Structure 1
Amino acid sequence: MNLSITINSTERQTHVSVSGEIDVYTAPKLKEKLFPFSEKEEMNLIVDLNGVTYMDSTGLGVMVGVFKSLRKHNGRLQLTGLSDRINKLFMITGLADIMNIKSGVEGEEV
């Protein structure tokens, strides 16, 4: 179960590129990397999932937790690069209705 996370951060915006599988084994690593940014005031967090080949409910849970933490701290979450399968997960669960999901250019302002 491999997961690669690359982070580029400025004071107000962080761009995180994720590749590999997000599951019960790798989700804690993703949570450990994302949560510190979600607790900063007015942070714009862009998570590029273009390289993610698999995500289970544990991964969805991490995204929901990060989303809630960002909202609590007046920040915003943008998910980009979702595969059709992963996008479908967000659609089925209703998360696509509350989260900012874009297929646009990586790193654009949210």
Structure 2
Amino acid sequence: MDGLTISSESRGASTLVRVGGEVDAYTAPMLRERLDAEISAGHTHLVVGLEEVSFMDSSGLSVLVGGLAAARSRNGSLSLAGPDERILRVLTITGLTDVFEIFPSVGAACEAADGVTSQVS
């Protein structure tokens, strides 16, 4: 089993949360804690970088949906960046491609977030 790695950094108007490894029932609570902490700190425009995620189950999907709801409750956003084919397939099957903005790369997601927040400001 791969461990979970999470890091975050400011990227323009958004906060990039990079996730790596497996997001499952055992590791999803760590991701939930990080997303909650970022939102509580006022970082309400989040980009979750999934390029290094090798596996995600329903626990991980639930955390992402919860993070999106929390961000939106503070007039924010949460988008996904760089999911591989397997993760994208799970997002598609579950209908979450209609819920999340999904970008092919972190750069594209952060650029789009900068455009949205500059229009709102």
Specify whether residues 105 and 41 from structure 1 end up closer, same or farther in structure 2 by C-alpha distance, changes over 3 A only: closer
Contact 1:39 / 1:69 at 8 angstroms: preserved in 2?
no
Aligned length: 110
**Separation (CA, whole Å) in 1 of partners of 2:80 and 2:16:** 10
Contact 2:15 / 2:43 at 8 angstroms: preserved in 1?
no
**Structure 2 unaligned spans of 5+:** 114-121
**Structure 1 unaligned spans of 5+:** none
Specify whether residues 35 and 97 from structure 1 end up closer, same or farther in structure 2 by C-alpha distance, changes over 3 A only: same
**Higher Rg:** 2
Residue 28 (structure 2) pairs with residue 27 (structure 1): yes
Superposition CA RMSD, Å? 1.9
**Separation (CA, whole Å) in 2 of partners of 1:98 and 1:91:** 10
Contact 1:40 / 1:73 at 8 angstroms: preserved in 2?
no
- Percent of residue pairs bearing the same amino acid type: 41
DSSP-derived class of the 1:108 partner? helix
Report the TM-score when normalising by structure 1.
0.89
Mapping for residues 4-23 of structure 1, pairs under 5 Å: 4-9=5-10, 12-23=13-24
Report the TM-score when normalising by structure 2.
0.82
**Separation (CA, whole Å) in 1 of partners of 2:58 and 2:4:** 16
